[in-house]
Every structure is written in C-alpha cells, then in structure tokens.
Amino acid sequence: MKYLLILLSAFLFSCKSSETKLTAQQIIDKTIVYSGADKVANSQISFQFRDKEYIALRKTNGKFVLIRNHRKENYGTISDIVTNNGFKRELNAHEFSVADSMKNKYSNSVNSVHYFSVLPYGLNDKAVNKKLLKPVTIKGKEYYKIEVTFSENGGGEDFEDVFIYWIGKEDFLIDYLAYSYHTNGGGKRFRVLKEQCIIKGIRFVDYHNYKSLTKDISLNNIDKAFENNELKKVSEIILKDIKVKILD
C-alpha cells in the first residue's frame, strides 16, 4: 500500500510538472482566436458610440480606413477619417483644411475608440511588447495577467501608455483591462465586463469604466483595489447598433 501511494504521488507530481506553461504571446494568440478577433483583419465594422457613428474598413494587406461621423447643427455631417496615409476631415463629404496642431488630436481620438472596440485585435502589432505577470483570481475566476507596452517606433503618440489585460484561464477571453495614460494630466482606468455579444463570429464587449480614488494605487494592483471597492465608476462604454461584414 505504501509503495502504491509513493507511485501515485510520483505520478501526480509528474503530471503537475508537465503542465504546459503558456507564454504571453501564446495566451494572446489564443485570445485573438477565441474572441474571433482574427476576423477583424478582413472586415467592415460599424457601430454607434455615444452620439457618433464609427465605421472601420480593414483588409488583410494592412490597408485600413477608420471613420467617425457626427452631425453638427447648422453645419451638417463632419467626418474624421484616418487611413494609412494620415488624417483628413470632411464636411458633408467635402474635405477642408485642419491645422496640423489639431490633426494628431483628432486622429488619436478616432483611433482610440476603434482600437478598444475590437480588442484583442491589434495586440500582435509589431510595436506591442507583452509581459506575463503573476496570475490572479478575481471573484472566484482564475486569470492570466498580461502587461502590454509599446515601442516608441510604431507605437504612436501615446507609446508610453501601459495596459494590463486579465484573460480567463479557461475561456481565454478578456473580462478586465486597465491602462495608464499621460495626456490631460494622466491617470488610470479599469474596465470591467458589463455585457458581451457575438456578431459574425466576433466578440464585442461593453464595459463599466472605473478610476482609482487615490494616485497611490499602482496599475499592477488595480485589480485588488477593485475587489476592495477602492475604485469609482465614472462611465459605461457601450457600443450600439453594431454591424459586421466579413470581406471576401
């Protein structure tokens, strides 16, 4: 009996030791597939966010067109358009001049909404650096925790921003994300899954949006602050009227 127990213990230890340890890259690869974000690279996606319409056309050759439309009383429809070639603004389909100092501001604003709308798409871009942090459990669910930073070359104007993603160990889906930013005085945000839907095989997520009550809370510990009710809800991120067309 003693010999049998020794063999059983050795077997269990062997199984535990041989468990596959995934890298940050492997986890992100799985997350992209499990959420259907791999389909985003060849699609046309539109949605309403707050009072504006967003349209994104992306092709597998890397070409993209990101649009934000909004109506302005007594003027008509203003369209902010970001492509591989840069930024332009149109009023009622006619291009008009924008000061260079404002182009980056408008472009970043358009990019930001489109970027968040299709996460984890984009997390395999060349400028993205991934680091696997210590796994955590939130509300009884186990998560991989991955930090994302950006290289200055290709990382955009906000390359110094830092993101953290909490990815379910079983379903490989993002339920939480956090980021620190440096514009407008800087700050931190923590987003919590509110609702999700699947359209044409792509997962779209609405979030509760929180900020820390004190500056003492580090980005790495913001998940603990959430569980300790040390964050304040500031808004909800809700995408409406989502339409998806997978291109041939």
Of the CA atoms within 13 Å of residue 166, those in its CB half-sphere come to 24
Q: What is the per-residue pLDDT across 80-112, written as a single tens digit (0 to 9) for each?
A: 999 999 999 999 999 989 998 899 999 999 999
pLDDT of amino acid 73: 85
Task: With cut-offs at 50, 70 and 90, classify the pLDDT of residue 72.
Answer: confident
pLDDT of amino acid 183: 74
Stated pTM of the model: 0.88
Answer yes or no: are the C-beta atoms of 143 and 115 closer than 8 Å: no
Mean pLDDT on 174-188: 88
DSSP 8-class letter at 214: S
Mean pLDDT on 10-26: 66
Lowest average pLDDT, out of 26-35, 138-147, 158-167, 214-223, goes to: 158-167
Mean pLDDT on 205-232: 94
Mean per-residue pLDDT over the chain, rounded = 90
**Both tokens assigned to 74:** 């007594």
pLDDT of amino acid 240: 98
pLDDT of amino acid 15: 46
Answer yes or no: are the C-beta atoms of 98 and 87 closer than 8 Å: yes
Distance CA 31, CA 244 (A): 20
pLDDT of amino acid 181: 85
State what percent of residues in the chain have pLDDT above 70: 90
Is pLDDT above 60 for 141? yes
Q: Tell me how far CA of residue 222 lies from CA of 113, 144, 227, in angstroms.
A: 22, 15, 9
Q: Please, what are the domains in the chain?
A: 23-246 (2.50.20)
Closest C-alpha among 147, 153, 202, 151 to residue 180? 147
pLDDT of amino acid 170: 97
Mean pLDDT on 151-176: 84
Distance CA 15, CA 67 (A): 51
Q: What is the per-residue pLDDT across 27-61, written as a single tens digit (0 to 9) for each?
A: 999 999 999 999 999 999 999 999 999 999 999 99
Distance CA 190, CA 231 (A): 8
pLDDT of amino acid 16: 45
